[in-house]
Structure 1
Amino acid sequence: MQTYPLTTRYTWCIAIIILSLIPGLFTTLMEPDAALYAGIAKQIVWRNDWVNLFADGTDWLDKPHLPFWISALSFKIFGISTFAYKLPAFLCWLSGARFTYLFARHFYGTATAQIAALIYLTALHAIISSNDVRAEPYLTCFLVAASWYLVQSLRSAWYIIPAALFTAFALMTKGPFVLITIGSGLLLHWTIQKDWRQFLQWKWYVYLLLAAVFTLPEIWCLYLQFDAHPEKVIYGQQGVSGIRFFLWESQFGRFFNTGPIKGHGDPFFFLHTLLWAFLPWSLLFYLALFQRLRKLRKGVEWITLGASLCTLLLFSFSGFQLPHYLNILFPYFSILLAAWLIDLPLKKAMITQRVIALLMVVLLLAITLLFRPHYWIAYVIVSAAALTGWWLLRSPDDIIKVSMLGSVCVAIFINLFFYPTLLDYQGGSVAAEWKNRQFPGEIVHFYRSNSQAFEFYADAQVERRDTSFKKKELVFTGRAGRQALDLAGKEYKEEAVFSSYPVTRLDGQFINPATRHEGLDTVWLLRVNALYSNK
């Protein structure tokens, strides 16, 4: 077994990672998802309504309530802001590292647990998601916490209570499919260990019952908003059951492409997505997974393998696929990899990790030189320091530290340089900040346009006027809306104009300053001065 001198400096490694991520807590929210979810939580606070979820001016049925309740509670404490939205998700993500550590330590010891936690914290898409916050930081924590407490329940039945509570939290974050992730690992573990008596233990059935009871607040809220009001039009239909949507269509309907939200799945999507999403660890993870599958009866535990493979297969054969779905499996991936890495002769693995770290640093430097974010010279200096560190970290015992080097560079790059510059081109948030300064407290009307970022950052309610305007209303619109006003011959005053770009869908044209203007759209704040009827 490797001694890993890193373990004596574990706290410093954790501190460096956290410090590199803290600036992201203040970076403007991105459209569509992060700004949308923050806007839903904002409506909870402004309406003082913790039962009904609203988005884009209407009832919203897609995700369960818990992440919005947590964000709304944070807004109540800290005020409505970017920081208040991101902080609880960030703390949950860090708590996921703690539960990853505890799980790994239980089966493999302290050194493996430290490595697993560091792998979890430095995975590329986890770093991105700690800034562009959706539901995954919450769900990741709740799943690994439930798995940890279920492991503890093997020796004391009382642990089924926190296990059931975290399972309910996961259910109220994403839906019933989370039971597959939590349960498949235990089922595989008991099957390979031939521990058949576990299937007859009463505590597991009590655990499921408690998890169902703890989930009742979600069921009740869905009933009140949707099932009790069949007259509401949801997804173009009346009589939509929120409870049915939660229990089936929200997740399994997407997986089997039978729900109202459909996609076009690729069975290999997550296999190649994992190559970049789990950097700098992805190549080693594939090797670790292959080795574990070769030695099915020689492992210490099979919970992590069962949770990883079953969920990954479910995702791969689903009709709806997005890269951030993988994040919830990072604790299990990290434990699997750390358990394999701790016994591995490190020379060849070190070569792999040094190459990956070098490529990450060099690629970020190349993007910096091309994109020219604010204060880009400062990041060139950071890159020079990183390359110096990379050159010095050549001992096989430095494999964790050299891998961390690439991830920390990513965190510094996106949180201090790239995202702050990129979001200057998010027209909705920029327009809202301008409006708040120039016309504080004034209501704005969306016309033939929509912006979740504008709605979140505006200091007053936003209304939608697709039929008529009163005199002298402040209107947010895009090209289609302005053209409609022009064709109608109506008078308006241009208060402000902003460049706009869908910042989560980058391409080479935008990255290159010489061609960036070619891909930009435009949004306006207009003062409509006359009655206008769209007939």
Structure 2
Amino acid sequence: MRQLKNRLRNWWNASAFPVSDHGQLPGSQIWTTRQNVLALGCLLIASMVVLLPNLSYPLIDPDETRYAQIALEMIESRDWVTPMLDGRAYLDKPPMMYWMTAISFNVLGHNESAARLPSVLSALATIMMLFVLGRRFVGSRAAFLGAVSLLLCGGFLLAGRFLILDSMLTLFTTISLLTGYIAVREQKHRWVWWMISGVACALGVLTKGPVALVLCAPPLAVNGWLRKDQTRTRRLHWIAFVLPMTLVCVPWYIAIWKFNPEFGDYFFLEHNFKRFTEGSNHRQPFWFYLPILFVAMFPTSLLLPSLAVFLASRSERKRNARSKDLGFLFCGSVWVLAFFSIASCKLPTYILPAIPLVALMMGAMLDHTVFKPDLPSRITSYLKPFPQRASMVMFVMSMTIAAVDVWLTGSLQFTVAMAMMVSVTLAMITVANWNHQIAFEMPGWAFLSLVGITLLSFAGERLMPTIAAYRSIHTKVAIAAEQHPGATIVYFGENPHALELVMPTSNVFYFCREQREAFVAFLSHYPEVLLVTDDEEIESTRQAVATTHQLVQTRLDKHLYVASRQHPTRDL
């Protein structure tokens, strides 16, 4: 066993990542303060352009509507300890996202933009932190390229524009991992950075539970064990790491456990441990996240094959471009992917915390290959025409997105037509400069980034709202209510979560499936009802109300019906 450990460490330090410090890499440059500020400003503006516009599209069921409803009930009940859903304790997740969403509602009003704002700001802050923290150990240019790579990861951006927990979790795990590594990277450990890492991890635990600690602690420990140098953490480090976690997390966990005695068994055992080991929902094969990673990072993922070659190559040139700092990023990203790959329950958004680490590795790879032409390599030669080819791929994607939008809406909207014109113009510029030297240099890569931002802006600001409106039952209920102004609205077996963000709810009633008799009795008192129910219930529902009402499916949605009284009688 000792011999195996020595061989593993020798391979890691002498072959995989032999350069001890980024500053020792050939051609390393140090940016001035002005360059760093300018880069940060460019990232901020570009991120705001992609993330902030048009957040007011309908919430997507079930996750967005559920989380928004919890925040709304938190405001109404003024209970900031126990998250509530439909008046009952909702113990699946910790409260950080609900707290932030409730605060956003209080400040900006009850609307879809306010609901999504915490997730959007988390994604934006992740991009900023990747540059600010990453530059401390991979250099400013590599960190900037990594942040731009993250900005061009479509799945990361789209997840950031939805009310889900993963974007906020990714922010805290990224900060925890990077600050933790900065703390132990040099001979003299920086305990302030290490404490910040513990606080960030604690906030992650308050966002999605103990999975944050599972994602952050092992890479910091394993990287130090592999290197067997000053980065190796000791018992004192973990005491200092757990201390802020105790101060930040434990009060809420104690409080909710006190008010809800079933919390411990349900949250830790059923919803975390058993879901990881025995979860029957969302079962997928072990390799599920490999294609998901490619899709989630598109169009940046077009560079993944080159990154794989850069990391696996045995050539002296590439080995001497791989620092131990890069090794930590590799360790962290592989651990996140491996952990969720062995889990029984798999969802695409789970691997979001790995994407910033992979993007930062991508930036380091580009920095030491493409942007150092004086140190040629096969990757440099292979990626020389990459900007033109990738631009044309994104042109095809933009046309596809426009076609899908036209198909869903049934018409060509002005914004879609303008986006198509911009895409065609960018494609013409790409073709006009196809074999020019400028297309192979920095301007060509900058132009590619512009094309990517245009594509992702179009997808986020047009395609996703179109899909959300197409799927949203609440939006269609609001339209039907305008067409039937006197009708009562009833949700039977379908929860009207966050409906108040779309329309007034004074005339809306909800019955769960177990309340079928009460629902039938209620329906008999109203001449016209807009009924929302699911496919499983419709036939039995039709039979149950057949004596008084006839159900007619609307053209708006297959789950939306108009229940009209067949034989008018005097209302009691």
Instruction: Calculate the TM-score normalised by the size of structure 2.
Output: 0.77
Asked if 1:45 is matched to 2:75, the reply is yes
SS at match of 2:439: coil
Look up the match of 1:361: 395
SS at the partner of 1:31?
A: coil
Q: 2:49·2:457 contact (CA, 8 Å) conserved in 1?
A: no
CA 1:20–1:440: 2 relative to 1, 3 Å: farther
Q: Secondary structure at the match of 2:556?
A: strand
Q: Supply the AA of the counterpart residue of 2:211.
A: F
Q: Measure, in 2, the Cα distance between the counterparts of 1:405 and 1:249.
A: 46
| Post-superposition offset of 1:433 | 3.5
Report if aligned partners of 1:443, 1:463 keep a CA contact under 8 Å in 2: no
1:493–1:527 CA contact under 8 A, matched in 2: yes
Aligned to 1:138: 168
What does residue range 458-473 of structure 1 map to in structure 2 within 5 Å? 458-460=503-505, 463-465=510-512, 466-467=515-516, 468-469=518-519, 470=522, 471-472=525-526
Shift of 1:401: 2.4
For structure 1, the 5+ residue unaligned runs are 228-240, 501-520
Measure the CA separation in 1 of the matches of 2:236 and 2:485: 60
Q: List aligned pairs for 1:7-22, cutoff 5 A.
A: 11-12=41-42, 14-22=44-52
Does residue 250 (structure 1) correspond to residue 271 (structure 2)? The answer is: yes
Structure 2 counterpart of 1:264: 283
Does the aligned pair in 1 maintain the 2:487–2:530 contact within 8 Å?
no
1:337 has 2:362 as partner: yes
- 1:326-370 deviations in Å (ceiling 9; x for gaps): 221121111111111101044422433432332122122034235
Q: SS of the residue aligned with 2:228?
A: coil
Matched-pair contact (CA < 8 Å) for 1:449–1:476: no
Query: What letter matches 2:276 in structure 1?
Result: F
Name 1:300's counterpart in structure 2. Answer: 324
User: Which of 13, 23, 29 pairs up with 2:53?
Assistant: 23
Q: How does 1:399-410 map to 2 (within 5 A)?
A: 400-410=445-455
Q: Are 1:436 and 1:458, in contact at CA under 8 Å, matched by a contact in 2?
A: no
Inter-CA distance 433–166: structure 2 relative to 1 (3 Å threshold): farther
Change (3 A) 1:264 1:353: farther
Q: Per-residue CA shift, 1:198-218, capped at 9, x if unaligned?
A: 433524312113213311244
Question: What residue is the counterpart of 1:383 in the other structure?
Answer: 423
Contact kept? 1:130, 1:137, Cα under 8 Å: yes
Give the TM-score, by structure 1 length: 0.81
Which residue of 255, 266, 281 maps to 2:300? 281
Letter in 2 for 1:270: Y
Describe the shift of the 1:200–1:314 C-alpha distance in structure 2 as closer, same or farther (beyond 3 A).
closer
Q: Residues 74-153 of structure 1 correspond to what in structure 2 (within 5 A)?
A: 74-153=104-183
C-alpha displacement at 1:321, in angstroms?
1.4
Cα shift at 1:87? 1.2
> Deviation at 1:282?
1.9
State the alpha-carbon separation in 2 of the partners of residues 353 and 250 from structure 1: 45
1:438 offset after TM fit, Å? 8.4
The percent of aligned pairs where both chains have the same amino acid is 19
Q: What letter corresponds to residue 197 of structure 2 in structure 1?
A: A
Cα distance in structure 2, aligned partners of 1:246 and 1:153: 32
* AA at the equivalent of 2:426: A
Larger Rg: 2
Post-superposition CA distance 1:203-259 (Å, at most 9, x none): 4312113213311244135414532xxxxxxxxxxxxx42244334433433322x5
Task: Return the letter of the residue paired with 1:269.
Answer: F
Q: 1:324 aligns with which of 329, 339, 349?
A: 349
CA distance in 1: counterparts of 2:307 and 2:389, whole angstroms: 18
Distance 1:441 1:210, change over 3 A: farther
Matched residues, number: 496
Q: Separation in 1 of the partners of 2:30 and 2:48?
A: 21
Task: Output the CA distance in 2 between the equivalents of 1:424 and 1:271.
Answer: 30
CA–CA distance in 2 between the matches of 1:62 and 1:169? 17
Cα distance in 2 for partners of 1:328, 1:16 equals 21
Q: Deviations over 1:490-525 (max 9, x none)?
A: 43598994523xxxxxxxxxxxxxxxxxxxx24136
Hey, what's the Cα distance between the residues in 2 that align with 1:92 and 1:441?
43
Cα distance in 1 for partners of 2:425, 2:30 equals 24
Deviates more, 1:147-156 or 1:325-334: 147-156
- Aligned partner of residue 499 in structure 1, secondary structure: coil
RMSD of the TM alignment (CA)? 3.5
SS across alignment from 1:185? helix
Q: Which residue of 2 aligns with 1:447?
A: 492
Is the CA contact 1:354–1:402 (under 8 Å) kept in the aligned structure 2? no
Aligned amino acid, residue 319 of structure 1 = S
Using the alignment, how far apart are the partners of 2:40 and 2:138 within structure 1?
17
**Cα shift at 1:262:** 3.3
Match of 1:426 in 2: 471
